[in-house]
Structure 1
Amino acid sequence: MAVLLTLTALNAPTAQAPAAHADDTDPVTVTVNARAGLATVPETGLGANHAIWDTNLGTDQTADLLKDAGTKLLRYPGGSYSDIYHWADHTAPGGYVAPNTDFDTFMRGVRRTGAQAMVTANYGTGTAEEAAAWVRHANVVKGYGITYWEIGNENYGNGHYGAAWEADDHADKSPAEYARHVVAYADAMKAVDPAIKIGAVLTTPANWPDAIVAEGDSGSWNEVVLSIAGPKIDFVILHWYPGALDRAGHVPDMIQLTREQLAEHAGPGAERIGIAMTEFNTGSSSNGTNTQPGALAAADAYATLLANGVFTVDWWNVHNGIGAVTEVEGHTDYGDFGLLSSATCTSDGTVCEPALNTPFAPYYAVQMVSRFARPGDRFVRAATGQAKVSAHAARRPDGDLAVLLVNTSSDTSYPVEIDYVGFSPASGAPTVLTHTNGATSITTSATGSATARTLPPLSLTTLVVRSGATETGRPGAPGQPSVTAVTDRTATITWPAAAPGTRPIAKYEVLRQNGAVTEQLGETTGTTFTVRNLRPGTRYTVNVIARDGGGAQSWPSSPLTFTTGTPAASSCSVRLTVQSDWASGYVGALDITNNGAPLNGWTLSFAWPRPWQSLGSGWNAVWTQEGSTVKVVNEAGNGSLATGASATVGFVGNYTGPNVLPSVFTLNGAVCSST
């Protein structure tokens, strides 16, 4: 996103339904599992975008508000302006540059905020030499020590896929040309300062133009960029405007698919490449961008992205300007994608935003997340049994635990009962932080219980719970596990040994995360374990814990995620080929081969991995879908399959979220090999 949003008229207020009291509502069970470790909170986790068209970019008041929100990274010079901006003379031909927004002014604000900077070098109308000179000015002349440098903004939006909003003066607008320039930029910029990290632009899974292969290209944008620039980059860049408030559930697949693309296309050592979400906003002007629903969605997504290992999530934008004005949950929503008010008005002057730098609701969401999950804390699994209530948890280095609870219901106060696994809360009241609909601050108290709470409608609640167990003498956590020899049924997991506490380590336990529940897959006295009896085509996330001779357990290792395959040999084999993809659906072909006895009639079955996937149509067979299961039954002309014979069928698959392809197929009940 690059420019200020436009404006529309104010809608009439909507009637508010009476709130349901907690006495009328069944308790919601919340499970917090401290044995199921996720990512560690990074120093740069909470970020925001600054834009050179924002007159207030460099003011002390803005910097101080961002500091109070816990902002740890600021991105500059702002969206698509990055690809027309020339830092040396502070110009952006074709765009507006506000006074007092030059690079050194931006950096003064960054330092006052106590944040790090991320700079987007001009790819669209700039050069590698210009970017290298910027690094020299920033890190050699000024000593700013800026680590993170992006090469361009949304460069896939240069017209190559049919839509053009991003400036690009290169005659060749292909992903291969972009990747070749990324290599040149990386070489030139790192010649000035080898310590910097270079980021390349990717498309976000299930967001246009992800997976589309343009004419003349050897693959999608991501495949081509990673295959050429992968060895030269240190992180990749995603942008996400989901356009709805209930999309946090897409995040784990979104990030996992990105990691799989890195592993497949970026070359050896791709695991070193980080993932940055350098633009994020709910993008839901109809449901509330700067009112409480947008704030709840923001907190949910921030926590989910960081728990899945994204090293920065950067809100678009600090200031943005008035847009479509509506009434949302009893409050005026200005359609403003900023954290802070720009004090702008509609074109007819009938509606104006509050005073400059008044925090909007998403500001308090960022502030709440910063108080819930601090740099160095480790996310652990949390889950609820109520769709309107989401939960996140993070363990602190001193053993305490923070739990973030989000109630998205407009009219129901939900009582929750919290069950802790692998953690014993101390007696006494926890510290409670709360933000409710329309509130202009986060309230803090020490009340109630660590195991029960009532959540007001449209609220964010964080409980900081003291540990009732001593940390002294506990074994250290095992190191990062790795996996080898993955088959359809087995996988060998290895990890660096844990440091013993006051007693020697007696054994290690390998635990699978299944939602917020852990299942022990096995235990060993060594540091390698082969897990058996796994399910084909299934994604597993595991942790390892150490236990000493007295029964004391360590905190969990970092998570390891892997996916099992299908049988190496079977009476059937199936090959799925994606023939075309338009980022919300695809044409697939299934080549079915009979490796067993001759068949006179066959049924192929598979299940969609995710609820947002469905069958559009199919051909060369009779296709039906019931629930998530798809059945493909032969037609009269292709029902006989001799040994070694094949049949090919086709289908259209639709999706509205990250497209995890089906991988397990059965033919007349037998699990097939995938080729």
Structure 2
Amino acid sequence: MQTAIPRRVALGAALLAATALAAPPAPSAYAATTPVTVTVNARAGLATVPATALGVNDAIWDTTLGTDAVADLLGAAGVKMIRYPGGSYADIYHWETHTAPGGYVAPNTDFDTFMASARRTGAEPMIIANYGTGSADEAAGWVRYANITKKYGAKYWTIGNENYGNGHYGSSWEADDHADKSPAQYAAEVIAYADAMKAVDPTIKVGAVLTMPANWPDGLVGGGDAATWNQVVLQAAGPHIDFADVHWYPGGGSAAEAIGKTQYLDDSMYLLRNQINTYGGANASRIGISLTETNVGVGQNTQPGAIFLADAYSSLIGNGVFTVQWWNVHNGIGTPSTVAGQTDYNDFGLLSSGTCTSDGTVCEPALNTPFAPYHALKLMSSFVHPGDQMVRAATDNALVTAYGSRRPNGDLGVLLINKDPDAAHDIALSYRGYTPSAAAPVAVTYGNGDTGIHAGSASTLPPYSITLVTLHPAGSNAAAPNAPGVPTASAVTDRTATISWPAVGRAAKYELYRANGAISEQLGETTGTSFTVRNLQPGKRYTVNVLARDSAGNLSWSSPPLTFATGAPATSTCTVKFADTNDWGNGYVGQVDITNTGAAPLNGWTLNFTWPTTWQSVSSGWNATWTQSGTDVRVTSDATLAASGGSTSVGFVGAYNGPNVLPAAFTLNGTLCSTSS
């Protein structure tokens, strides 16, 4: 986070323990409606849940950082990774002297105290090396102390916090003593830090700070830079890092808007992974992704915070992020308000700091009282476990979100989030590739105003609630083959792609499925380990999974997903170059160069393309007539494009309020064009 909020009132010693289950609230009346259909598709596997998935931030200005009470609360919530020394403080913090010039360092928050607390919690540390006012030698010394002297085995280290916030793009909140504040300088220093730190302990993992797609300053090119922050950093430092570290504060003007921001995550992670694979050097797929700060825009301590946490963590883990970390354990009171009938203290902490507003008129609950997001995190620890495989799930109601997690013992967890603050919703569960037993499913719920997780219903979701339904399989899958490994795509054209995967023992054949929402469409089957998919649509994104079946008919779990995009034809009678020439974060100037490479002139022309998302649009255009209907864009002109190379350039102002995934397929007078870069 940009700034840390110090304690306004000395924290007391009274502690509240979190209970496992609270008494359920009285049921609320609701109008009967058509049940929401929830489809869980075990054939459409997503990422496997890593041991470090559930994380939080801790900060050296928090006087409770090392207390047993806090460690036990975090342990009870299933926290498996804790970040230290806390946000922007990382770029002023000197570990050896335990000082942060210009900031407040609370007593008993030194590195050894933090490590003792993390161990009591049962969590791995994520340590931020000081880039802003530190050095590679200082960071290497910290690695030496942590892993050689103290033998802590601290594996994950990031170089700095939000270093793009050093003033290079205008806004300045992150300390940076370097005369050159460009992404090129940061990349050069990341290489120096990584080399020095790994010379001490070659087993550590080093991460570099990137920007989250669709969040400032994503898309911006600073003065004197060759490209955006992410491209410059990845092109130089990609071969030297092990993971990319991003933050995500999507904001929102209302509770509904704030919790709706999670709809952007699939596209944001798709763009980020593409950037890493494109610019990160050879074998860039090895570079992991951590999201080490996030919080909701409205209702940080109330049900919107809980809903946002469960939704964001589930989506990000399913997209392969190896840790998601809430900001913060404690943070302090802000400007109180009422959200969905509950007092919200505008406190970004999971636990109450027990502080009051400056005029003393509003005070938080007692120190360490869990806020709503804490209970959501605790529910998440029952939903996802290390080694589970996330599976695709969907509903037919925009106010109800679903996620699935298949466990090694065959159990299926279904997380259901009702974002409707006013109405309960009945649900009807259906499955693809999974048969539950006849036993009644077990459900637990956390709802608006609840003091804890309690027994719930597998058929009705209370208003503004998070419900976990757990089902057992009808039979054992022990005889099935192992799941195939990660597929790869090659020879991808506008219409075809060849999918390959590692061989699996006892597999008699392999089945290839394409995810279409929560439904899987079988693309084909083969006894080999590759399959060429045909009849694809140009410029479209596809996600596929491979399953193995043995001679007895037993079907394996799903492979991890493979997402790829088709492009344009290699040759055509027209060529289009589409470029974002000047981006400012929620809009840009676009230039489209159109060339007629055919043997006949075009006396008047029409260019068509489709935006990949619903949040992209044309604000205005020139050198042609621009119109948009839904996501379809039509550009027309009465001008002539001469044969064999006649060309024109048209432009527009584009707008977007989510990830800006650029179109990849264009037709000119109905002919699919090739593209150039």
TM-score by length of structure 1 reads 0.95
Identify the range of structure 1 (467-476 vs 20-29) with the bigger mean alpha-carbon deviation: 20-29
Question: What does 1:358-437 correspond to in 2, within 5 Å?
Answer: 358-437=369-448
Partner of 1:103: 111
* Correspondence 1:534 to 2:532: no
How many positions carry a matched residue from both structures?
652
Q: Cα offset for 1:642?
A: 2.9
* C-alpha separation in 2, matches of 1:3 and 1:323: 13
Partners of 2:172 and 2:618 in 1: CA distance = 31
Output the CA distance in 1 between the equivalents of 2:163 and 2:616. 28
Task: Measure the CA separation in 2 of the matches of 1:569 and 1:520.
Answer: 30
Q: Report what 2:3 is aligned to.
A: 3
Q: Distance in 2 between matches of 1:318 and 1:375?
A: 22
Q: What CA distance in whole angstroms lies between the structure 1 residues aligned with 2:675 and 2:38?
A: 39
Aligned residue in 1 for 2:259? 245
Query: Quick check: 1:292 aligned with 2:292?
Result: no
> Partner of 1:269 in structure 2?
283
Match of 1:354 among 365, 368, 392: 365
Q: In structure 2, the residue corresponding to 1:39 is in which secondary structure? A: strand
TM-superposed CA distance for 1:167, in Å, is 0.3
Contact 1:278 1:312 in 2 (8 A): yes
Matches within 5 A, 1:249-648: 249-282=263-296, 284=297, 287-444=298-455, 453-500=459-506, 505-596=507-598, 597-634=600-637, 636=638, 638-648=639-649
Q: Give the 3-state SS of the residue equivalent to 1:245 in structure 2.
A: helix
The CA distance in 2 between the partners of 1:139 and 1:556, in whole Å, is 38
Do the aligned partners of 2:601 and 2:640 also contact (CA within 8 Å) in 1?
Answer: no
1:161-180 residue pairs with structure 2 within 5 A?
161-180=169-188
1:157 paired residue number: 165
Distance 1:444 1:39 in 2: 29
User: Which residue of structure 2 lines up, in the alignment, with residue 115 of structure 1?
Assistant: 123
**AA matched with 2:369:** T
Distance apart, 1:2 and its partner CA: 4.3
Separation in 1, partners of 2:277, 2:106: 42
Q: Distance in 2 between matches of 1:650 and 1:611?
A: 21
Aligned to 1:306, what secondary structure does the other structure show?
Answer: helix
In 1, distance between residues paired with 2:7 and 2:621?
A: 44
CA deviation map 1:144-200 (0-9, x unaligned): 100000000000000011111000000011101110000000010001000000000
Structure 2 unmatched runs, 5+: 9-26, 252-257
Q: What CA distance in whole angstroms lies between the structure 2 residues aligned with 1:578 and 1:329?
A: 41
Q: Secondary structure at the match of 1:246?
A: helix
Percent pairwise identity: 62
- Residue-by-residue CA offset, 1:277-314 (whole Å, 9 max, x unaligned): 011111x1xx3111012211110010000000000000
Shift of 1:20: 8.3
Distance 1:469 1:620 in 2: 65
Runs of 4+ with deviation above 6 angstroms? none
User: Which residue does 1:659 correspond to in 2?
Assistant: 660
Q: CA deviation at 1:359?
A: 0.2
Query: Is residue 31–residue 423 contact of structure 2 (8 Å, CA) maintained in 1?
Result: no
**C-alpha deviation, 1:23, in angstroms:** 5.3
* RMSD between superposed Cα atoms in Å: 1.5
Residue of structure 2 equivalent to 1:67? 75
Task: Provide the residue aligned with 1:218 in structure 2.
Answer: 226
Which one-letter code corresponds to 1:76 in the other structure?
Y
Deviation of 1:639 (Å): 3.5
- Structure 1 segments unaligned to the other structure (5+ residues): 9-18
- Name the residue aligned to 2:150: 142
Task: Work out the CA distance in 1 between the residues paired with 2:545 and 2:663.
Answer: 26
User: Which residue number corresponds to residue 16 of structure 1?
Assistant: none
Secondary structure in structure 2 of the residue aligned to 1:393: strand
Query: What CA deviation, in whole Å up to 9, does each residue of 1:465-484 have, x standing for no partner?
Result: 00112123111111211111
* In structure 2, distance between residues paired with 1:289 and 1:607: 37
1:166-205 alignment, distance < 5 Å: 166-205=174-213
- Provide TM-score, normalisation by structure 2: 0.95
Classify 1:53/1:496 alpha carbon distance in 2 versus 1 (closer, same or farther; 3 Å). same
Larger mean CA deviation between 544-553 and 226-235 belongs to 544-553
Q: 1:20 to 1:112 in 2, by over 3 A?
A: closer
- Secondary structure of the residue that 1:302 maps to in structure 2? helix
1:399 and 1:573 map into 2 onto residues whose CA distance is 51
CA distance 1:557–1:626, change in 2 (3 Å): same
SS in 2 for 1:390: strand
Contact 1:602 1:633 in 2 (8 A): yes
